[in-house]
Amino acid sequence: MTQARWVAQRLKHDRPEIPVDIIAIKTKGDIMQDVSLAKIGGKGLFVKEIEDALLRGEIDIAVHSMKDVPVELPEGLEIGIMSEREDPRDVLISKDGRRIEDMPQGARIGTGSLRRTIQLRYLIPGVEVIPLRGNLDTRIRKIRTDNLDGIIVAAAGMKRMGWSRRITQVIPVDMMLPSVGQGVLGIELRENDIETRNAVSPINHPQTWLEVTAERTFLKRLGGGCQLPVASYGKKNDNDLTLTGLLGSLDGRTLIRDEVRGPSGSAEALGVLLAERILSSGGEDILKEVYKTHSF
């Protein structure tokens, strides 16, 4: 709702003549808080009911965290707008002020993300990763109720809630690579709804669009699953785009990380190139093992 309110405020500012109403829709991902995302179908469950309402014409736009949006969308829908990216990094909220590098062997760290899990297993020997679901407040509370040493969440969510003071450590991207689209809001709409697209177009941020397009193309080439042990981060500088990607084994023992750079207008080509390089460096074997272990 915080994200939807932000978009509504922007629309009221940019197009005050257009009435704006917020419709709250609970998704299966919101309701089933006690089951891991991998077991119930991945992050796409945070958007399905909303997309159904969009296709039925009950709503005109849907506001999503881009990290939750599958690379394959229902026929007739598209992500038409991406907001300027907020902080894409992950953050640690710890029980006693310890940073990642100071965590003891066997530390209990909470996260609901397979991407964070594999990187934690690589960073902290013997780490015990505790599955974590629920809203931010619920997850933070579990540090105390579940006796956790800390939890990993997205920086953007903490900042949107005004909770930056509760952050112990902002984790650098060279230590923990973000999720595809992390820190970005996407606006989904019907492909043929030109009037609505024009109304929300001032929110679009071209640089972010290019960066996330490269990230999502990378993910799509690897198989497209939101719950794959994959991370990617694109950064545009002047006319160049640098794209970093990672694919890891489930035990965290193997992380394949690579980087490509090229013209920012070649975002999709860079995404494919990076995926091909990682696949040829052992990624094919990792993906086979992942699909053998998990059913997505």
CB 180 within 8 A of CB 68: no
Strand order in the sheet with 240-248: 230-237, 240-248, 255-263
Task: Give me the torsion for CA of 95, 101, 102, 103, rounded to 10°.
Answer: 60
Closest by Cα among 175, 141, 169, 134 to 155? 169
Question: Tokens 């940073």, residue?
Answer: 99
Catalytic residues, by residue number, are 68
Using H for helix, E for strand and C for coil, what is the string for 90-149?
EEEEECCCCCHHHCCCCCEEEECCHHHHHHHHHHCCCCEEEECCCCHHHHHHHHHHCCCC
- How many residues in the chain? 296
- Residue environment code for 41-78, b if the CB has 16+ CB neighbours within 10 A, otherwise e: bbbbbbbebbbeebeeeebbbbbbbbbbbbbeeeeebb
Provide φ and ψ at 237, rounded to 5°: -130, 115
Question: Tokens 């994959």, residue?
Answer: 230
Closest by Cα among 103, 149, 105, 102 to 130? 149
CB 205 within 8 A of CB 181: no
